[in-house]
Structure 1
């Protein structure tokens, strides 16, 4: 009997000891998870320490075993105030302490310097996180400079950003969607890490192939702070500068901010085209040269406010105003010989005025239950422009007339988005949402183009994480209805699935499998049926009947960290159907006629290698994509005798930073892409590289000298070539440099402490494709 009582008592105690206390630690200001915090569990009766543990990377903890009774949790984390919470255990199941918010605190260390080197990158479920090192900070003046040093991200000489060869990407700052202009006004010292999303989930828009999320440091400006950045040219006749400033004022629950991005690019451009047309009887050669002065300017003003109603409720207003112009003025010569013999000379005069505005309201609410939140985003984006080109004939022949092309595009877009996130247990998360887009496109110079598009998207994703396994899948359904006034109406339903499986082989090695289906809709200028004239022998026309282009991607990636270094290798396969592109042919009038159409299918497969490596005093970030690209024309392309083609394509990038004494840094950035075959024709450009030397003064002022392509005075920014059954064409656009270098200068100040800023999304709008460089 004694033995039975003992066994029963032991069994009861054992059952009680299986109970645990769970919870999650969140920063009260930035709402980010707090990892590696210490959690202690004490009895309230005699202050006995029962157990201790620490939070994981997601800020979650589980402490035990415990029996029924009253306890006190004590949480301690570096940079946060000590927190206490009392818990009564009255049942036999685990007890959830819920979300515990920790307040920031500041410690002043005197006479101590702590130096260390963080590891460069790590791979997670759908993203790779690159951590900002001191060398990267020393070599950078703006957020754009930081991105140049991240493997896989390419930034051309006009600051356009692409990821893995695609510009159909989103850029975020702390989860808030921004554009490249906003990134350029960020101070490098604000940035903690950069997340590169190669396979976006179903919560992203259907046309997105990748995303970049810049995570700022937890401590933000509180009080009055700002930064000024200037680029100083060394040539009086040419200009290539991108000045910025940002100002911020934070007080209690309110944060006000404004910033500016400028772009002034005045350069000599030479565009040359060689064309040849033949039939059974005659051959005609056409040589065209445009010697023009490129005048690109843009002034973009951002402004907004954040307001924290409570730790659970946030509100944001954000807006920008952006006037800009891109004009080519100069002389044009077109020489035709063979069956046609004449010389056409003209003075080219561009009138290009564009205005883009954006307004958004954002609200976020965190529920008391852990992992539950809802977000609402309403935005309005407007674009209006006048794009006119006049060719004023200056030759001697009397039968030649002036030529004019003019469009007055206008676009109005409204977007409403609601996202909801819920946690189903400790290992399972569910996210879902709905988004509605309305776009009205028109050409105010013509009654033939009034286009309305409505898109409704419903999406959801499930994520499961347990031990070494991280699994997520989702589906996005987009229903679109488009209508061209007095012409046609189209309706389409697209299903865009997504799946990702990540397995942690060891603490430093990961392998990931992913699948993603996306689509790309045509933009305003591709849809507009207006016929524009480029010279006496060529015309261009859009197509309102275009269908969206669909894409599928499958990839497997392996990543490894070693000795504070990072290296990843990736195999991928891409398939694109209904590819949107220009179809060039010789029309009935004998002109080179380019019309936008759905052209067929492209598929490509290959490998990608990227890394972040430390070699002595030099940090090297290489990136390389090598793939086979196959094109297959549809019936329309085949009717113009366009052949299926294959090409081996290389896309490469390399950045290197060397740090020296006295806060002196030298950096090198290199990019090269081999010619890429489209369904019709190839496109190419020259290699691009930058050399720079910087010096930092007391962490507030930085000065440097930069040279773009220092060993060449001419750069081919864009080229194309066609070789068809009855014609061929070869085009190159060159920019001429007379200045070998320019200076950079930045200064930042802070007259207060720190405060957080709220994240929200914004909508993009179609702009006129850039001309020239």
Structure 2
């Protein structure tokens, strides 16, 4: 791997060194602003195209969020043209550019003849590079058609979604997920599980923020994933309807409707889905005595039969008070009903692997959940010169009820129930003050208040508690108060954004069943530094530093125990503390004709890392004593992690588009002794050795146009093995295929999608357990498959959104705003 890293760096340096040297050609800076003719609103991402009249070389750039552009080009005579989708192209007189020139304000008018031919969804996915983030435009990726938000995230460079739905960024699950820049009921009480209920068609883009500026929450030690939902931008009534069917059984209907005038924008994302989610797992335990001799075995086979009905509706109204300000109100509602059956067959085997006893344990879980969220936003752009005020208010409440009776060998053995309610409030204010043309100052405040109650009861068939009673009830309150300020400037080729954020955290956890009260109050400072340097119009460097934290979520703190197995469970830890991380990121982007390369080197140092460990407890029930294997999160020592990432996009022809991502990381976790009190009140300790391991993952994506204008997309993903303090995880290889055909004069699309073609998306792991004397007591070999291969057929019909091909990409670096934002 060291040789590969060296080869990668040499290749990058050699590629740059072989470029034609344009540094001797004198350059000038061309500035100006592009606005809409009627509303006078700035047009972000409008394209200014410059064609050198002698060499015919094309260059240019795009506008930032204020409609402004600043482009550096060699001296010469140019043809100038301005484009924006849905607007008439404007050609300016040829310009003899010999000195810095301001073109002033350029107005564009809507093209009424083509407005009904504009597609909200882009033709192809693109990645925009900003100073503090990368923006992945979802586009028309066929491998996520008919899918959900988890499928979209799993298609984003740097991101992986494992077999259980856990989202990781650059190999780490310490990532913060936001919806439209804010915490959302779309994520829900169950975390990333709720992302499976958000249709992929509702997502416009995903922001990958590996070096967040001070305006973003400090939560998420690896970074932030911000999911941006679609809002119509076209005048009049338009929309689309998506119908998806699949095997295993799956039906989804997802209308997307929008109505816009000069004064209002009414938008909605609706969705109803029914799906079966078959899955399976196996855990094989090998038990040893103190001298290392095998004593016996145990095998647990689980089959998951899941059925889920979900309805979600997002409705919003944006009212334009005047040309500079607007107010937006939105409401989100979700109603989910789950009926999951987990069948666990446990075989106890002797030394000869002969079955001595068998237990069949069936847990039937019925879950009903309702989420409501109310949001209000006020935005004022003042003089349209960059000064901006935004105010956000948000309230959400969530209720979940679960009933999970357990039948053992045909007899009712347990009656389990859990009721969870949560109320969340948010207030946020941000103010941007420009200072001259290329400088801005920003400051803001954010308050997040959460009040959660959970009551979990375990009872026998007669409604009485067991001798060992895992029931618990918690009252969890978390209040976070944040303040930030940042200063940004762009001078010639150098851009920088310096910020400081402070967050005051107040957490109260009261375990009502044991009268255990845990209070955690801390105030922390989080500096951020983001630098950008443009070598020329195709090459640029970025450098970022940020301090981050990871707070334990309520399910990590809740001493709730899973019940689908009596001997192999997960339990939260009320004593866990936050993790703090300092991150450094150096990035390089270059374009060579039809090839775009993005690369970065990163380093992270974390303290009090949160990681799951496996413990062994002795329990007695019905007169029998047995071992219980408990998986629980704990704070280990410090960890250092470094790696590099390499992403490429190559479009050799209009019919072939290729992209690839490679990410290598290495981490070192210090040796650590974890002391705890087991369920019987006995002091125990677990010695964890130093971990010095590495891993990597790679993704390849191709999109090819076949005869008959059939689009064929293939996506391959490989994740290498990885080890931590107590377990080894195996590799995984996943293949997705999709075929798409446009119908009815491009008003509709039909997509056939095969997710996990070879049914290989499984998590394979080996975990090592040790007894009180530090000797190996048990080895567990496990395989887990959250969902099996899925085949879907998706039909989308667009009205007043007749699909229009995206304008061809120009050979210059568009899409970098001065300061992100």
Shorter chain as denominator, the TM-score bin is 0.7 to 0.9
CA distance in 1, matches of 2:765, 2:348: 21
Partner of 1:527: 557
The structure-2 alpha-carbon separation of the partners of 1:321 and 1:715, relative to structure 1 and needing over 3 Å to count, comes to same
> Shift in Å at residue 465 of structure 1?
0.7
Q: 1:280 aligns with which of 290, 302, 305?
A: 290
The structure-2 alpha-carbon separation of the partners of 1:109 and 1:744, relative to structure 1 and needing over 3 Å to count, comes to closer
CA distance in 2, matches of 1:222, 1:691: 36
Q: 1:231 aligns with which of 218, 228, 244?
A: 244
Q: Where do 1:657-676 residues align within 5 Å?
A: 657-676=703-722
Matched, 1:251 2:301: no
Asked if 2 retains the 8 angstrom alpha-carbon contact of 1:404 and 1:533, the reply is: no
Asked if 2 retains the 8 angstrom alpha-carbon contact of 1:136 and 1:657, the reply is: no
Deviates more, 1:700-709 or 1:178-187: 178-187
Secondary structure in 2 aligned to 1:526?
Answer: helix
The structure-2 alpha-carbon separation of the partners of 1:500 and 1:109, relative to structure 1 and needing over 3 Å to count, comes to closer
Asked if 1 retains the 8 angstrom alpha-carbon contact of 2:729 and 2:763, the reply is: no
> Shift in Å at residue 700 of structure 1?
1.2
Asked if 2 retains the 8 angstrom alpha-carbon contact of 1:513 and 1:555, the reply is: yes
Asked if 2 retains the 8 angstrom alpha-carbon contact of 1:224 and 1:751, the reply is: no
Partner of 2:509: 484
Q: Where do 1:370-769 residues align within 5 Å?
A: 370-394=385-409, 402-445=413-456, 448-485=473-510, 487-589=517-619, 590-616=627-653, 617-636=655-674, 639-684=685-730, 686-697=732-743, 698-712=745-759, 715-716=761-762, 719=765, 721-722=767-768, 724=770, 725-734=776-785, 741-750=791-800
Partner of 1:72: none
CA distance in 1, matches of 2:363, 2:124: 55
Q: 1:34-84, CA deviations, whole angstroms, 9 ceiling, x for partnerless residues?
A: 766699xxxxxxxxxxxxxx9974444799xxxxxxxxxxx995566999x
Partner of 2:773: none
CA distance in 2, matches of 1:123, 1:644: 37
> Shift in Å at residue 215 of structure 1?
8.0
Asked if 1 retains the 8 angstrom alpha-carbon contact of 2:146 and 2:252, the reply is: no
Secondary structure in 2 aligned to 1:525?
Answer: helix
Q: 1:690-720, CA deviations, whole angstroms, 9 ceiling, x for partnerless residues?
A: 11111112221111322223344x6425656
Partner of 1:105: 110
The structure-2 alpha-carbon separation of the partners of 1:684 and 1:260, relative to structure 1 and needing over 3 Å to count, comes to farther
CA distance in 2, matches of 1:694, 1:721: 43
Deviates more, 1:475-484 or 1:539-548: 539-548
CA distance in 2, matches of 1:155, 1:411: 26
Asked if 1 retains the 8 angstrom alpha-carbon contact of 2:33 and 2:63, the reply is: no
> Shift in Å at residue 621 of structure 1?
1.3
Secondary structure in 2 aligned to 1:535?
Answer: coil
How many pairs does the alignment contain? 682
Q: 1:67-117, CA deviations, whole angstroms, 9 ceiling, x for partnerless residues?
A: xxxxxxxx995566999xxxxxxxxxx9x99x969464226589xxxxxx9
Partner of 1:358: 373
Deviates more, 1:441-450 or 1:625-634: 441-450
Larger-Rg structure: 1
The structure-2 alpha-carbon separation of the partners of 1:411 and 1:212, relative to structure 1 and needing over 3 Å to count, comes to closer
Asked if 2 retains the 8 angstrom alpha-carbon contact of 1:155 and 1:162, the reply is: yes
Asked if 1 retains the 8 angstrom alpha-carbon contact of 2:716 and 2:733, the reply is: yes
Q: 2:275 aligns with which of 255, 259, 265?
A: 265
Asked if 1 retains the 8 angstrom alpha-carbon contact of 2:587 and 2:598, the reply is: yes
Asked if 1 retains the 8 angstrom alpha-carbon contact of 2:133 and 2:208, the reply is: yes
Q: 2:170 aligns with which of 164, 171, 182?
A: 164
Q: What is the TM-score when the length of structure 1 is the normalising length? A: 0.78
Asked if 1 retains the 8 angstrom alpha-carbon contact of 2:404 and 2:416, the reply is: yes
Q: 1:395-451, CA deviations, whole angstroms, 9 ceiling, x for partnerless residues?
A: 6xxxx9823443222211111111111112222211111111111121134774112
Secondary structure in 1 aligned to 2:575?
Answer: coil
Secondary structure in 1 aligned to 2:278?
Answer: strand
Secondary structure in 1 aligned to 2:780?
Answer: strand
> Shift in Å at residue 26 of structure 1?
4.1
Partner of 1:308: 320
Secondary structure in 1 aligned to 2:237?
Answer: strand
Secondary structure in 2 aligned to 1:444?
Answer: strand
Matched, 1:205 2:217: yes
> Shift in Å at residue 649 of structure 1?
0.6
CA distance in 1, matches of 2:232, 2:474: 50
The structure-2 alpha-carbon separation of the partners of 1:505 and 1:182, relative to structure 1 and needing over 3 Å to count, comes to farther
Asked if 2 retains the 8 angstrom alpha-carbon contact of 1:313 and 1:365, the reply is: yes
